[in-house]
Structure 1
Amino acid sequence: MTASTQEHAPLAATRVPGRFRWVLVAGAVLGIVWATHRLAFLLTGHSPVLWVYVAGMGFLVWQLATAAFDRPATASPDGAARLAAARVAVLVPVYNEDDDILRGNLEALLRQTHPPAAVCVVDDGSTTGDYAPVRDWFVEAAPRAGVSATWQRQENGGKRSAQVAGARTCPDADFYVTVDSDTQLDARAIEESLQPFEDPQVQSVAGTILVTNYRTNLLTRMQEVWYLSMQMVDRAALSRAGAVLVNSGGLATYRADILWDHVEDYLTETFRGRPVHTSDDSLLTLFAQQRGRTVHQGSAFAFTAMPSTFDGHRRQQLRWMRGSFLRSGTRLRSLPLGRFSYWYHVARWMQYTAATVALVVLLASGALLHPATLALGACIVGSVQLIVASPYLSLRRSDQSRGQRLAVFACAPLVGLWSVTFLRVLRWYAMATVSNVSWGTRQSVEITSLAAPRRRPAPEVHTV
């Protein structure tokens, strides 16, 4: 049985509400008091630096406390009936993807408890194959599942172009779900993603992304605990205010008007005269934020393959960081001054700038190089990351044992140290080279599920 014809086991996830959240928040407060007491001795003469640290930790406590109140939205019976009748189209741009991973993506879409009206696949000029076995299987299986399917191949134009090309084959959709080609949805992902839309002010819903290949090595385990932490703490806190700033490409749902009312701006964005091919998810989220509420649905899960090599990880992070820095300027120009999201964004940049200045001061004075300071700093970073990662303990994955869950959680201190060392330096480099707005991603298949021979690309468009 080849990779392109193998049926994939469904992946599923749930979260078990934990009673330990407030214990962790209280522990964080006590930890900050203790660490501040110790740092006060080690940083004598650097009281401004100490206050920057206290402010940053206080901000973290606010995030943890706010996120603790976040709960998945559940529509009322009347609202659920209206949402059940909604016409949903899923947009799947594909570029140099592994056949087996792509088939897993499409199988999961056909298993949804809220079946999409249409799945629109657009091969954006892949150079590694034409996915013929996957395409042939899909265009035959989709109608049997009651799903309309289109499969197009176009010249390489970027992810945004592929998404819009797919949407144009289903222009009457009420909602568009964007997924990456290496993503496999939980069977309830679309149904859960629709729940918050009972509120007419909600314009977009971010799903919860987990790492499909988390067991590959230490790097993928770190990414698993890191990404869930960011979503269940930072994004969940913003969701309480309807102010999520960026959705994940692995799973996000938008009201159709968000795309159509901004389609030209989406396709023609430039930076310093050059077309922008990155930061597509954050731009769609910005369009949604300008119109209403943007929220996170913690019960809508998607499983995405992440880079398992250092080079792949570096390039992915560099692309995301450049896009984030570019989008920061757009938000400051475009978000209304009265929105919480605007002032949150300003506050985060003030915090980041103050922390960077404090770091430079400590390095210049030599205080940071004191062994006791380094040791205490490493303990603080690791402990804080364990607290931030605590929501991972409430996760239940269908492909994960308790021991595996604990092994991933144990990587949290390494995530913290990786963030304040390598990733911080990489962010500085990304900010200095923000003009490079090309996609900068794979020129060949980088992540595979099963080995499969590559096929020559076919220029035709095949539509069902």
Structure 2
Amino acid sequence: MDRNNPTTSRLISILTFGSLFPILFFRITDPQGTIFWFYSVLMTGFIILTYVMTKGYVPKPDVGYRPEVSVIIPAKDEEEAIEETLARVFRADYPVSKLEVIAVDDGSTDRTWDRLQKVRNRLGVGDRLTLIRNATNKGKRAAMAIGVRKARGEILVCIDSDSFVDRDAIKLLVQPFTDPTVVGVCGHGAAANTDEGVLPKLQHYWYQVMFRIFKGMESRFASVTCCSGLLSAYRRNMVLAVLDDWLNQTFMGRPMLIGDDREMTNLVLKGTEGKFVRSSSDGRLIPVLPLSARDAKVVYQSNAVAYTIVPTKLPEFLRQQLRWKRSHIHGCINASKFMWRKPLPAAASFYLYQFLVYMSTIVSVIWLVVRPLQGDALSGLVFLAGNMYVAFLSGLNVWKLSKAPKEAIPYTVGFVFISVFLSLTVLIYGWLTPWKGGWITRTAQGTNPEEETLSHPTPLIRTNLSGESNPTP
């Protein structure tokens, strides 16, 4: 089957919409007046909306726009990956005179700092690479903030320390900024270590669905709600305008130590009316471009690709998912406070999706646990079959849209079982403990992650170009 054949494309569209529309019609014309009927109608309608919108998604092509870019890479105990991360950035197809890189070692206890100095010498990049070292681990937000304040570029490109960008990723990532109302851009994520077992491959194709299909839909509304940390970009002035708010965020009276990327996306997507940045020359407060929540745009670039190291073992994967579920709870509560000000299609799709995410867990418990315990095992099988069919359609569309191999289809279907398991366990636990900041990857040494504050970073050690370490004032 040739994905480039117009007949194949039409057949996939017919299979997708030709099966979903009759289901929706049947549900609507057979009203049962229950919350589960209501959920079923909305879920089917949302799936149709997602496919309709993502089908028309096209990334911004390269129009030759080359602003000054500052790449910021926070790192904590990444001795195995950090050299390749930096090497990929410096191999980027981007003008040397317009690219600076700032790497912040956030109190690593391994050889990350040595590797940073080694790669600078090996690549011979001189003052294009600034190395900064935190004396103690203060968290990703504090490390990012140090890089932001040091940066000189018009655009900030943020890359996780275990992610590797394609050669043309940076130049493609910045193209949407030709629109002055675009404040953030999310790149496309993929797994770098798919050769390390079944679990990384399952995650890889799950990424394809979440990025290419879901973020593709969000991008049509110019309201991507989470710019992934593996590759994202923002206007520097916009970030400076919300930086203190980001550093001092709290949830239920506690400092927020997770959801860094989602919360930064929220703050710029909310708009910058009434925001100022301080001039570096004379200290004056200068207003930034006053964008309202309705006008501020965050989009997705599917052609700007970064590969990240994903968990290979189930316990590690579950810890990651718990962080993500908790950050989703925090982020969606905050986004709900302003998304109603977006254009109606963007606002409606956001609130509908949030309802469906949390309702799906309740439905999963009833169909997969309660009903089988009542002797109705068939309901659970039907529920699983329905989820597998939707996953099959997702895999089929990912294969068509993102040029993935055909194995995308069975792996996407296989991820259904992990997704259901997460809904019945990790998501519920995240609901019950949303205030916790544990199981994060960048926790300050010797501190309780639920009590640590990020608003007062510890003294830094900044390395000059000769390789000597000097304390900052």
* Class of the TM-score when normalised by the shorter of the 2 chains: 0.7 to 0.9
- Whether contact under 8 Å (2:83, 2:116) holds in the other structure is yes
TM-score (norm 1): 0.81
Alignment match, 1:388: 394
Q: Partner residue of 1:9? A: none
Q: How does 1:81-160 map to 2 (within 5 A)?
A: 83-84=65-66, 86-97=67-78, 99-115=79-95, 117-139=99-121, 141-143=123-125, 148-154=128-134, 155-160=136-141
Alpha-carbon distance in 1 for matches of 2:50, 2:397: 13
- Indicate the larger mover: 193-202 or 161-170: 161-170
Percent identity of equivalent pairs = 22
Q: Which residue of 1 aligns with 2:298?
A: 294
Please, which moves more after superposition, 160-169 or 387-396?
A: 387-396
| Letter aligned with residue 297 of structure 2 | R
Matched, 1:49 2:30: no
Judging changes above 3 Å, is the alpha-carbon distance between structure 1 residues 442 and 173 closer, same or farther for their aligned structure 2 residues? closer
Unmatched segments (≥5 aa) in structure 2? 272-295, 444-459, 466-473
Given the superposition, is the C-alpha separation of residues 68 and 369 from structure 1 closer, same or farther in structure 2, using an over 3 Å criterion? farther
Q: How does 1:349-388 map to 2 (within 5 A)?
A: 349-359=354-364, 362=367, 364=370, 366=372, 370-388=376-394
Cα distance in structure 2, aligned partners of 1:101 and 1:353: 36
Q: Matches of 2:383 and 2:375 in 1, distance apart?
A: 11
Query: What SS does the aligned partner of 2:407 have?
Result: helix
SS in 2 for 1:65: helix
Counterpart of 1:256 (choices 226, 232, 236) is 236
Partners of 1:39 and 1:347 in 2: CA distance: 18
Q: Which residue number in structure 2 is paired with residue 455 of structure 1? A: none
How far has the Cα of 1:428 moved from its partner? 1.3
Match of 1:418 in 2: 418
Matched, 1:68 2:68: no
Give 3-state SS (helix, strand or coil) of 2:195's partner: coil
Using the alignment, how far apart are the partners of 1:311 and 1:412 within structure 2?
21
Match of 1:428 in 2: 428
Residues in 2 aligned to 1:327 and 1:429: alpha-carbon distance in whole angstroms: 17
Whether the 8 Å contact between 1:332 and 1:342 is mirrored in structure 2 is: no
Q: How far, CA to CA, are the matches of 2:34 and 2:145 in structure 1?
A: 53
Change (3 A) 1:318 1:150: same
Which amino acid in the other structure matches residue 461 of structure 1? R
| Contact in 2 for aligned 1:75/1:196 (Cα 8 Å) | no
Q: How does 1:11-410 map to 2 (within 5 A)?
A: 19=6, 20-32=8-20, 48-74=35-61, 76=63, 80=64, 83-84=65-66, 86-97=67-78, 99-115=79-95, 117-139=99-121, 141-143=123-125, 148-154=128-134, 155-170=136-151, 172-291=152-271, 292-335=296-339, 337-340=341-344, 341-359=346-364, 362=367, 364=370, 366=372, 370-394=376-400, 405-410=405-410
8 Å contact from structure 1 (residues 142, 148) kept in 2? no
With normalisation by structure 2, the TM-score equals 0.80
Q: Could you tell me how far 1:312 is from its partner in structure 2?
A: 0.8
- Using the alignment, how far apart are the partners of 2:380 and 2:12 within structure 1? 24
Kept in 2: contact 1:35–1:380 (CA 8 A): no
CA 1:410–1:293: 2 relative to 1, 3 Å: same
Q: Is the partner of 1:254 in helix, strand or coil?
A: strand
Instruction: Give the Cα–Cα distance (whole angstroms) in 2 for the partners of residues 49 and 63 of structure 1.
Output: 21
Q: Equivalents in 2 of 1:365, 1:26: separation in Å? A: 34
SS in 2 for 1:150: strand
Q: Structure 1: which amino acid aligns with 2:14? A: A
Whether the 8 Å contact between 1:290 and 1:336 is mirrored in structure 2 is no
For residue 395 of structure 1, report the CA deviation from its aligned partner.
7.3
Report the Cα distance in structure 2 between the residues aligned to 1:39 and 1:346, rounded to whole angstroms: 21
Superposed displacement of residue 67, structure 1: 0.1
2: distance between equivalents of 1:198 and 1:112? Answer: 20
CA drift of 1:163 comes to: 1.0
3-state SS of paired residue (2:101): strand
Deviation at 1:391, TM superposition (A): 4.2
In the TM superposition, what is the alpha-carbon distance from 1:113 to its structure 2 partner? 0.9
Distance 1:266 1:439 in 2: 20
Q: Once the 2 structures are TM-superposed, how far is the Cα of residue 374 of structure 1 from its aligned partner?
A: 3.0
Tell me how large the CA RMSD over aligned residues is: 3.0
Q: Deviations over 1:63-100 (max 9, x none)?
A: 01110100011254xxx3xx32x110000000011x34
Q: Which moved more, 1:297-306 or 1:343-352?
A: 343-352
